[in-house]
């Protein structure tokens, strides 16, 4: 946060956010800060308010009260597409892509969109810079062997990895991941964890994720925020959160393995 103490403002700051749906308080005075260059997780039981807070951050849900700042600007009233233009990219629990395009074509489309060249789709595919970016994305995601496969024919895990790769081809400052390993096998989950780390390291993305698989959360996250009944009950590094009695009682059930 910027202020008199001289501390740097986080890349994302949702401050004292409240959201009411017909009198039901989904969020109440919730504050979440995500420092630039970090991998942060938002966890909590069903109904805790995680999806609502994600919607407020991404711009699909307007808060009843509170403010959202991103990359030094107040974006509270800004629509989702403008936040995306600023560098906020969201990957959903159900993967979104073009099913009739191949894996490489889907990634190429995302690369061209980032370069604002999507109207030249077929002309631009000959560009050496675009081609190099597509190849780097395929390699980083471990999708080279699927480059010519139609996206509609991919497994659940490969679909999610494709969507993650497309999201980061847009070169976002902040990547919002909604249940990135939902429905995956153990091997697909491990591959997705590796991909998220690669995207964070090589693409320079700051990551905020929600996830029910606590082994994924405690493996990936550097900082964890815990919601319950629309309020933050704890936040801190994984080793601290895993032993926090409030978190154990509300969600984990037992101390998390370190």
pLDDT at residue number 49: 94
pLDDT at residue number 23: 85
pLDDT at residue number 165: 85
pLDDT at 2 > cutoff 60: no
226 vs 248: CA distance, rounded Å: 11
Mean pLDDT of the region 225-230: 96
Angle of CA points 203, 207, 209, to nearest 5°: 140
In which band, very low, low, confident or very high, does the pLDDT at 169 lie, cut at 50, 70 and 90? Answer: confident
250 vs 94: CA distance, rounded Å: 27
pLDDT at residue number 203: 82
Distances (CA, A) of 245 to 233, 239, 248, 253, 255: 10, 12, 5, 9, 8
What share of the chain in percent tops pLDDT 90? 55
pLDDT at 24 > cutoff 70: yes
All structural domains of the chain: 1-36+46-85+222-258 (3.40.50.300), 87-210 (3.40.50.300)
Buried b (16+ CB within 10 A) or exposed e, 125-158: bebeebeebbeebbebbbbeebeeeebeebeebb
50 vs 229: CA distance, rounded Å: 10
pLDDT at 7 > cutoff 80: no
Name which of 201, 234, 238 is nearest 218 in CA terms.
Answer: 238
Mean pLDDT of the region 193-201: 88
pLDDT at residue number 217: 96
pTM for the whole structure? 0.83
Q: How far is CA 104 from the centre of its chain?
A: 22
**Tens of pLDDT along 110-155?**
888 776 655 455 554 457 778 888 888 888 888 899 999 999 998 8
User: How far apart, in Å, do the first and last CA atoms of the chain sit?
Assistant: 30
């Amino acid at each position: 946060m910027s202020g008199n103490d001289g501390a740097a403002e986080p890349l994302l700051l949702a401050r004292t956010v409240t959201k009411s749906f017909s009198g039901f308080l989904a969020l109440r005075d919730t504050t979440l800060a995500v420092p630039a260059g970090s991998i942060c997780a938002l966890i909590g039981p069903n109904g805790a308010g995680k999806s609502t807070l994600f919607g407020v951050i991404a711009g699909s849900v307007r808060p009843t009260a509170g403010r959202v700042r991103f990359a030094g600007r107040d974006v509270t009233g800004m629509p989702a597409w403008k936040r995306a233009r600023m560098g906020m990219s969201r990957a959903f629990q159900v993967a979104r892509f073009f099913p009739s395009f191949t894996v490489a074509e889907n990634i190429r489309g995302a690369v061209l969109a980032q370069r604002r060249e999507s109207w030249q789709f077929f002309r631009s595919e000959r560009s050496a810079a675009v081609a190099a970016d597509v190849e780097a994305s395929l390699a980083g995601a471990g999708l080279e062997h699927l480059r010519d496969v139609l996206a509609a024919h991919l497994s659940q895990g490969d679909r999610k990895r494709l969507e993650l790769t497309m999201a980061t081809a847009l070169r976002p400052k902040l990547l919002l991941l909604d249940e990135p390993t939902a429905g995956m096998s153990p091997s697909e989950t491990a591959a997705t964890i590796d991909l998220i780390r690669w995207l964070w390291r090589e693409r320079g993305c700051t990551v905020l994720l929600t996830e029910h698989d606590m082994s994924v959360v405690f493996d990936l996250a550097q900082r964890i925020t815990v919601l319950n009944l629309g309020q933050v009950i704890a936040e801190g590094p994984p080793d601290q959160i895993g032993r926090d009695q409030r978190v154990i009682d509300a969600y984990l059930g037992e101390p998390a393995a370190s």
